[in-house]
Amino acid sequence: MPHTHWLRKNGTIATARRSALSGKTPAELVLMAETRKLLQLLLHSEQESVSPELRTAIEAILRARLRRTAPFMPLNEEQRIAWLDEVTHITCRTDLDDSFTAGSTYRVVCQDSPTSHIIDRQTMHGVAEEDQITGNELVIHIADDHARIHTFCHTSLPDEDGIHARHPLASLIAHFTIPPAPDITQIYPATFAKLKTQLAAL
């Protein structure tokens, strides 16, 4: 069967039909969560055929990024939320209303969303004041058993068409298994063991 995705001589990806991956290099695509997830899905797709050269290139760039972003110590569930953009699916562990069923696996989509909110605080002189906090936050979208979109985030975001319900991140932790984020001891086990031995000998 002809490959639907292959690697050109110039290092860019060629596709049999129009695709967000076409004309880009794996190194470009790995930078953004959305396109990085497309690369991960491509590797495990049963409908797409990937050339050996392209598969090798994608696996290598994903491993390299994992090494660069790996935490230095094991993370708790709340901390591991920041690594959800590295996975494509998440498993429900306890039922959430009539939307999600324990034991079922759901596709997860993460995005950075601009956020702005007001917090009350006291200055070092005891004066109350309001501060406006602006920036980006990770927003997690999951489609439920009825194909309705649920959003999990830290702050209240503006209304958006197509969102069935919004939940705090605490609800995500309570009802879903947050996948592990491999730390450096798992990615470099031999190197870590060697350094640990050297440190013990000091």
Claim: this prediction has a pTM higher than 0.85: no
User: pLDDT at residue 145 above 90?
Assistant: yes
For residue 34, the model assigns a pLDDT of 79
Q: Which of 55-59, 114-118, 140-144, 148-152 has the lowest mean pLDDT?
A: 114-118
Lowest-pLDDT range, 69-78, 89-98, 122-131?
122-131
Torsions phi, psi for 82 (to 5 deg): -65, -20
Asked whether the predicted pLDDT for residue 108 surpasses 60, the reply is yes
Q: Give residue 152's pLDDT band: very low, low, confident or very high (50, 70, 90).
A: very high
Contact criterion met (CB below 8 Å) for 116 and 134: yes
Residue 85 gets which letter from DSSP? G
CA dist., res. 52 & res. 60, Å (int): 12
80 vs 112, which has greater pLDDT?
A: 80
Residue 159 pLDDT: 65
CA angle (93, 166, 168) in 5-degree steps: 65
Separation CA 77–CA 142 (nearest Å) = 18
Contact 97, 150 (CB under 8 A): no
Gap between the Cα atoms of 157 and 112, Å rounded: 12
